[in-house]
A and B are shown apart, each in its own frame.
Chain A
């Protein structure tokens, strides 16, 4: 026989509980549906709890003069199956929705990096590793300390998709402060800034060996002697004068073409690298350039370059061979698309087909670093071949 609970009803807006002041029937009594069973009192009024169905009072679990919260079972009525079914009281009570909140169900993996998807509309990618998202607070904190995104390269983020949270950042800073820290020089910071900006582009490299014997022969009969860097510079200028497109810059969806063939060259000075510029390097012969070039080298070493010989160049030549290096991948200046590198010359065996044997030759590697958005490997290769060709025919320079 179904047991139907007698429930403390909601007796008024915002009433939480009510006090039992009188039982109007006793266990064993037969009651009708809607019959008054219990008198209760709230802060607002006294009222009665009525019977949910016809049946027999099995028992009251509630006590006289006690308060019971709304919804609490005060007793039970035994009703016939037919009666319970007629009144729809035979349906099991549904589960409380408050306990089945899927949103709050903890992550099956429990991992903090497995949030997927993240909150809609947030600029935090859900699945990418090492998210580059910097929060406004992190950016503000980094600005405060003068840090750049690149400085966070060494921080593994604990936020969504590996982003660096402010907590990660502060831990990182605290860790750094345990080590020896010295200020970077002005020039170091300037170069760092230029390289960081330049590195935002897809820089690619091509390279090839070039035989320097003709150049050395040429140097023997020329006074003053042109250095390999100047020869490279002049060769680059001649090649670009023939076709300046590889030195263009991509800005938005436009190519900005060079207006004159002004070529810079790298000079190592204390604390950094300076890049004086030779204007119109295509308009003067190699011989004519030797004097101005040597002057600029001297001024650069003394850090006395006048403003008119810095900036505004379209490409740079760097002779990393002076460090004994045979191969390098230099990065173009941020406002340029090209840098020509020259490695150290060394004597190597070269197959001489006419003599049917290896012969010793002086050889150096030429490299060309370029902005792959502006030109492709083929165009870069053709430019570098042309430069190599000019260097092996120095009389054309």
Chain B
């Protein structure tokens, strides 16, 4: 038996609905249709009245979730695409993210953002928005890279008392498979050493972890051992694990699929240079998407986002300094 990243997300939601009567799912086409990506397939049937179709009203969807959370519920909101969450941005950052700080009443909502590029998806179905949400205080931003993490982190997202932006990568939905669902997991907030190495640390998250791992494998015949750190959640960001890795390797490359200005990769480098300057044997580097909207055509798209080849090329540059 094998299970995909997408199925793990469906299973986690089924699990949460089964275990906790406070959980419900609200989003466009999530009901009988089972969601645009089938992440809620059959859940409406299995949990009547708890997997509910929403009108195309991202703002009102999040607003409703906040109200329900105040009443003690644990809503899961599915954005059809992360890109559309900008329409509900105000409710996420001004309502959900501020509630606990202002009133001491927690806001346990989970907003699922199917994000990231897939071939042919173009400027409005490909965006990586973890950075803008991580920028706001009061939000937890998860970016699982594995089937196991997709499952266990989504369960934890629903369980914790705070608003969680759950960034699930569309490219991984079907491409990533695991043998079975995990019974235990690292807690959210802890990064994972996805591959141990000696010569350089690559920090990545979500789909970029797999590009980094492929690049690391490509560099083995050249004599390099690359360590890959999977951040798992970008907020909180596990600086300690990154720093410990850089202490071992002396070289740092950060890879993100989001746009280059600011962002998670810049944050990691800022932290390492300010707190661990003396660990660096070469200037840290980062690799991001190009600073344009995400292009439609596959030829452009593969050049727009960091690929394993691009990661390996950047790594070689750094290793030769």
Whether the complex brings A and B within 8 Å at their CB atoms is answered: yes
B175: which of A16, A97, A136, A141 is its contact (CB, 8 Å)? A16
Asked if A202 CB lies within 8 Å of chain B CBs, one says no
Asked if A166 CB lies within 8 Å of chain B CBs, one says yes
A103-B313, A104-B310 known; A160-B321 Cβ under 8 A: yes
B321: which of A17, A106, A159 is its contact (CB, 8 Å)? A159
Query: Within 8 Å CB of B317, what residues of A?
Result: 115, 118-119
Residues of chain B from 93 to 127 with CB closer than 8 A to chain A in the complex: 114, 118-121, 125
Number of B residues with CB within 8 Å of any CB on chain A: 40
Query: Within 8 Å CB of A159, what residues of B?
Result: 282, 320-321
Asked if B316 CB lies within 8 Å of chain A CBs, one says yes
Q: What separation, in Å, do the CA atoms of A330 and B224 have in the docked complex?
A: 48
Asked if B42 CB lies within 8 Å of chain A CBs, one says no
Closest Cβ of chain A to B34, distance in Å, is 8
Closest Cβ of chain B to A299, distance in Å, is 44
B125 and A136 contacting across the interface, CB-CB below 8 Å: no
Asked if A135 CB lies within 8 Å of chain B CBs, one says yes
A13 and B299 contacting across the interface, CB-CB below 8 Å: no
B175 and A137 contacting across the interface, CB-CB below 8 Å: no
Asked if B133 CB lies within 8 Å of chain A CBs, one says no
A115 and B278 contacting across the interface, CB-CB below 8 Å: no
Closest Cβ of chain A to B301, distance in Å, is 10
A115-B317, A119-B285, A160-B320 known; A101-B121 Cβ under 8 A: no
Q: How would residues 130 to 174 of chain A score, 1 for a CB under 8 Å from any chain B CB and 0 otherwise?
A: 000001111111000000000000000001100101100000000
Asked if B210 CB lies within 8 Å of chain A CBs, one says no
Asked if A15 CB lies within 8 Å of chain B CBs, one says yes
CB-CB nearest in chain A for B300: A97
Asked if A22 CB lies within 8 Å of chain B CBs, one says no
Stretch at the interface among B135-143, B152-160, B166-174: B166-174
A14, A17, A98, A112 interface centre (most CB from chain B within 10 Å):
A14
Q: How would residues 147 to 187 of chain B score, 1 for a CB under 8 Å from any chain A CB and 0 otherwise?
A: 00000000000000000000000110111000000000000
B283 and A122 contacting across the interface, CB-CB below 8 Å: yes
Asked if A124 CB lies within 8 Å of chain B CBs, one says yes
A101 and B309 contacting across the interface, CB-CB below 8 Å: yes
Query: Within 8 Å CB of A104, what residues of B?
Result: 309-310, 312-313, 316
Closest Cβ of chain A to B39, distance in Å, is 10
B41, B81, B283, B321 interface centre (most CB from chain A within 10 Å):
B321
B312 and A43 contacting across the interface, CB-CB below 8 Å: no
B121: which of A13, A122, A136, A137 is its contact (CB, 8 Å)? A13
A13-B125, A94-B299 known; A119-B283 Cβ under 8 A: yes
A14-B37, A16-B174, A104-B313 known; A118-B278 Cβ under 8 A: no
A97: which of B250, B280, B302 is its contact (CB, 8 Å)? B302
Q: How would residues 40 to 63 of chain A score, 1 for a CB under 8 Å from any chain B CB and 0 otherwise?
A: 000110000000000000000000
Asked if B36 CB lies within 8 Å of chain A CBs, one says yes
A101 and B320 contacting across the interface, CB-CB below 8 Å: no
Asked if A30 CB lies within 8 Å of chain B CBs, one says no
A13-B36, A97-B302, A98-B307 known; A140-B312 Cβ under 8 A: no
Closest Cβ of chain A to B230, distance in Å, is 21
Q: How would residues 277 to 310 of chain B score, 1 for a CB under 8 Å from any chain A CB and 0 otherwise?
A: 1111111010000000000000100110001011
B302 and A98 contacting across the interface, CB-CB below 8 Å: yes
Query: Within 8 Å CB of A85, what residues of B?
Result: none
Q: What separation, in Å, do the CA atoms of A10 and B119 have in the docked complex?
A: 9
A97-B303, A165-B281 known; A14-B170 Cβ under 8 A: yes
Q: What separation, in Å, do the CA atoms of A43 and B318 have in the docked complex?
A: 42
Asked if B190 CB lies within 8 Å of chain A CBs, one says no
Q: What separation, in Å, do the CA atoms of A118 and B320 have in the docked complex?
A: 9
B174 and A43 contacting across the interface, CB-CB below 8 Å: yes
A44: which of B38, B281, B302, B313 is its contact (CB, 8 Å)? B38
Query: Within 8 Å CB of B303, what residues of A?
Result: 97-98
Q: How would residues 185 to 218 of chain B score, 1 for a CB under 8 Å from any chain A CB and 0 otherwise?
A: 0000000000000000000000000000000000
Query: Within 8 Å CB of B282, what residues of A?
Result: 135, 159
Q: What separation, in Å, do the CA atoms of A138 and B309 have in the docked complex?
A: 30
A sample of 19 cross-chain residue pairs with beta-carbon separation below 8 angstroms, ordered by A number, consists of A10-B119, A13-B125, A13-B170, A14-B174, A43-B6, A43-B174, A70-B119, A96-B302, A101-B309, A103-B310, A115-B317, A115-B321, A119-B318, A122-B283, A124-B321, A135-B281, A136-B277, A136-B278, A165-B281
Contacts A96-B302, A115-B321, A119-B318 known; list 19 others, CB within 8 Å. A13-B36, A17-B174, A43-B38, A43-B174, A98-B303, A101-B307, A104-B312, A104-B313, A119-B283, A119-B285, A119-B321, A122-B283, A136-B277, A137-B250, A137-B279, A138-B281, A141-B278, A159-B320, A166-B250
4 tightest A-B CB contacts, nearest first: A140-B278, A104-B313, A14-B170, A137-B281
